[in-house]
Amino acid sequence: MTTLAQYLESHATKPIASTITTLATASVSISHLLAKGALAGIHGEAGNENIQGEAQKKLDVISNDLLLGALTANPHCAGVASEELDEISPANRDGTLLVTFDPLDGSSNIDINMTVGTIFSVLPYHRTGDTATEADFLQAGSQQVAAGYFIYGTSTMLALTLGKGVAMFSFDPNTQTYILINDNVTISESTAEYAINASNYRYWLAPMKEYIDGLVAGDTGVRNKDYNTRWVAAMIADVHRILIRGGVFMYPFDTKIAGKAGKLRLMYEANPMSFVIEQAGGASTDGVKRIMDIAPTHIHQRIPVVLGAKEEVAFVKALHDKAGILANGDKA
Ligand code: F6P
């Protein structure tokens, strides 16, 4: 039996091991709060009072505060960026790492007792000034030195990549430790399962409509086989399912909200999940480019996402190429 601590000792540098340990410790606290649910006063909107007349805090706020406090106290951490905060938080001057996180992905699932999770990405800090700034974070996903997620579902799990494959851990409530359950998670290149919010169909670009039309047509269409849909509406759960049994996940470019290229965030969701998926043998694109090659322009940048089984990701990209789609959704 290998614990997370043992795994990190033999697979990670000291700063990375320390940072992942800090994230794991915070994840255990978040998991405990989630397990208590309504009894911990975490349901409902922030600003409400619970039955005891105590002020309720939304768990995404609590999770954010927990992670931010723990990471900024870690001497290896030079700066932290959270999906929940407008500005980045500079941390320790001598730190060598930057961490971005989505403290509670899928947080609307909390009130209905469904899966949520914490997504994280670790980047190197190339000292440019006295303390870390937003510009230091704007590195392509290919620069990540570690990434993964803690998923709080029927059990709590950690999927972790340090750039050499993906390891999966399961949290043991008895020993309060993460235990390695698979040190080489791989996903199949082909699949018959796809995840997309099809209610956005009318806002998609033509190649995405063409792709989904092909899947819906099943064995009567160009793909010559039947496909099945799954959509949890929490990226963390959809990606976890893909790691476990394959599939393709999409939140593509849409015109629903003018000026937004997609819904998901590059630095908190798309890059870390792309790193995990690629390291498990899958692929990831925004439709035009490999996601991890995109040079970020803004810490909260949004991006279209198609990731998972290689064959499907390549198929989607080929349709975009054929249609001459550019990165901003325009035609060439
Ligand atoms: O971060 C946004 C998010 O909650 C993802 O986790 C999820 O995949 C997506 O939004 C769900 O979006 P929608 O509600 O449009 O289906």
Measured in Å, residue 83 CA sits from the centre of ligand 1 at 14
In whole angstroms, give the CA distance from residue 273 to residue 280. Answer: 11
Q: How much is the average pLDDT of 163-171?
A: 98
Give 14-45 pLDDT, tens digit per residue: 999 999 999 999 999 999 999 988 777 777 66
Query: For ligand 1, which residues put their CB under 6 angstroms from it?
Result: 105-106, 197, 233-235, 251, 263-264, 269
Residue nearest to atom 16 of ligand 1 (CA): 233
- Report residue 224 as tokens: 């010559």
Residue nearest to atom 4 of ligand 1 (CA): 106
Measured in Å, residue 225 CA sits from the centre of ligand 1 at 28
pTM across the whole model: 0.95
Atom of ligand 1 nearest to the CA of 105: 6
Count other Cβ atoms within 10 Å, centred on residue 127. Answer: 13
**Phi, psi angles (nearest 5°) of residue 69:** -60, -45
pLDDT at 57: 61
Atom of ligand 1 nearest to the CA of 236: 6
- Report residue 66 as tokens: 């927990």
In whole angstroms, give the CA distance from residue 277 to residue 148. Answer: 10
pLDDT at 198: 97
pLDDT at 52: 44
Atom of ligand 1 nearest to the CA of 106: 4
Flag whether pLDDT at 318 surpasses 80: yes
Residue nearest to atom 14 of ligand 1 (CA): 233
Query: In terms of pLDDT, which residue wins out, 291 or 54?
Result: 291
Q: Which residue's entry shows tokens 């008895």?
A: 174
Residue nearest to atom 8 of ligand 1 (CA): 235
In whole angstroms, give the CA distance from residue 165 to residue 188. Answer: 14
Residue nearest to atom 2 of ligand 1 (CA): 264
Flag whether pLDDT at 158 surpasses 90: yes
Count other Cβ atoms within 10 Å, centred on residue 95. Answer: 24
* Mean confidence (pLDDT) of the chain: 93
Measured in Å, residue 133 CA sits from the centre of ligand 1 at 28
Measured in Å, residue 264 CA sits from the centre of ligand 1 at 7
Residue nearest to atom 15 of ligand 1 (CA): 197
Count other Cβ atoms within 10 Å, centred on residue 9. Answer: 12
Residue nearest to atom 9 of ligand 1 (CA): 233
Count other Cβ atoms within 10 Å, centred on residue 254. Answer: 20
Measured in Å, residue 226 CA sits from the centre of ligand 1 at 25
**Residue 117 contacts residue 104 (beta carbons within 8 Å):** yes
Alpha-carbon torsion angle 211, 228, 262, 45, nearest 10: 160
Flag whether pLDDT at 175 surpasses 80: yes
Measured in Å, residue 93 CA sits from the centre of ligand 1 at 35
Pocket test for ligand 1, best of 64, 105, 149, 232 (most atoms within 8 A of CB): 105
Measured in Å, residue 295 CA sits from the centre of ligand 1 at 23
Measured in Å, residue 260 CA sits from the centre of ligand 1 at 14
Residue 143 CA: distances (Å) to CA of 94, 117, 138, 265: 20, 23, 10, 17
Q: How much is the average pLDDT of 192-215?
A: 97
Flag whether pLDDT at 46 surpasses 70: no
